[in-house]
Structure 1
Amino acid sequence: MKVVIFDLDGTLIDSAPDLHRAANLVLQSEGLPAISFEQARSFIGHGAADLMRKVMRASGLGDDAGEHARLLAKFMGHYEGEPGLTTLYPGVVDALARLEAMGCTMGLCTNKPEQPTRIALRHFGLDRYMQAVASGDTLPQRKPDPAPLHHVARALADGTALYVGDSEVDAETAERAGIPFAIYTEGYRKTPLEALPHAHAFDHWDRLPDIVAAHFADAVA
């Protein structure tokens, strides 16, 4: 069985504009200056709690746990609704439809909390393709711990899996899980591509189905 598991933010969807907006609404309510879009984008990857922790540090708010919990709750209140500024990366839906036609079984492994993950999948019509989902709060562990990726792989099948993501976190997760990694180069990666372990790389989603076909053909050869 051909199993393909995807990351969400920076891979299937570009959610940085909505995350940036939510963070700045929190800062505005606290009478603090806004952070830049580039800052917000660089904070994505380890989940909402980590993003808010980085926003606090960038705004000089320190690391107080009580303040973090309060501001995180405000952040999630701004972020958990329907996506307003988030977009799909070009070619995502066509690529998923082609993978489905090829007989691939697909799932999702993300550090985004479950509620906004489910909303985003439904909003963009991606939920029909994802037969198993691990969000940032599904397990006690989060990426780059391999447990969430193993959780999705086991839920889908015992066949060979390929993980598709965009970032340093995804590359480390796949490496620790022992699962081959295909990296989407137009996401939120900050490290040079050659410095990250990966089996495949692609810069547009129309390339992924051919990469998947070749990957699984080699796997059974």
Structure 2
Amino acid sequence: MISVIFDLDGTLVDSEPNYYESGRRTLERHGVPDFTWEQHSRFIGIGTLETLEILKERHGLDAPVEQLLAEQNAAYLELARAHTEAFPEMRTFVELLHARGVPMAVASGSSREAIDAVLAGTGLDALLTTVVSAEEVA
């Protein structure tokens, strides 16, 4: 029997709008009101911590990077639970595999908390119950 392991961000779901919005809100709280999608798009594929370090320096932010990261993560989790869209074709594929009894899992570089929020927010948590995050793998 075959099994399928899915990546999450950019494969099963379109999480990038939530990453942008959570970053935009965080920067706005710290005096950067005009962070655009175009600016955000330059950081796609770069880790959140590294991105925040660059943005802290670029905009002269006083808050420690750890604080910025905690704020952005909290905003992201809120958005992920309410506004994440599963790619329709991938939802259909997962539903088809589930109906046929194919074992499936999600393996992601995101935190377990973020994965759980996204899966719950999209309703895919009922179909994808095996999850491994970057935090769980050396």
Query: Could you tell me which residue of structure 1 aligns to residue 101 of structure 2?
Result: 103
Query: Could you tell me which residue of structure 1 aligns to residue 90 of structure 2?
Result: 92
Question: Which secondary structure state, in structure 2, belongs to the residue aligned with residue 69 of structure 1?
Answer: helix
Q: Conserved in 2, the CA contact under 8 Å of 1:107 and 1:129? A: no
Question: Which secondary structure state, in structure 1, belongs to the residue aligned with residue 21 of structure 2?
Answer: helix
Distance 1:12 1:74 in 2: 25
Higher relative contact order (CA 8 A, sep 6+): 2
Q: Does 1:70 align with 2:42?
A: no
| TM-score, length basis structure 1 | 0.53
- Stretches of structure 2 that go unaligned for 5 or more consecutive residues are none
Count of residue pairs the alignment pairs up: 134
Question: Which secondary structure state, in structure 2, belongs to the residue aligned with residue 81 of structure 1?
Answer: helix
Question: Which secondary structure state, in structure 2, belongs to the residue aligned with residue 11 of structure 1?
Answer: coil
Query: Could you tell me which residue of structure 1 aligns to residue 32 of structure 2?
Result: 32
TM-aligned CA distance change 1:45 to 1:3, over 3 Å: farther
- The structural deviation recorded for 1:42 is 4.8
Distance 1:38 1:44 in 2: 10
Between structure 1 and structure 2, the one with the greater Rg is 1
Question: Which secondary structure state, in structure 2, belongs to the residue aligned with residue 77 of structure 1?
Answer: helix
Query: Could you tell me which residue of structure 1 aligns to residue 126 of structure 2?
Result: 128
Distance 1:36 1:85 in 2: 19
Taking only aligned residues, the RMSD between alpha carbons, in angstroms, comes to 2.4
- Stretches of structure 1 that go unaligned for 5 or more consecutive residues are 142-221
Moved over 4 A (4+): none
Query: Could you tell me which residue of structure 2 aligns to residue 115 of structure 1?
Result: 113
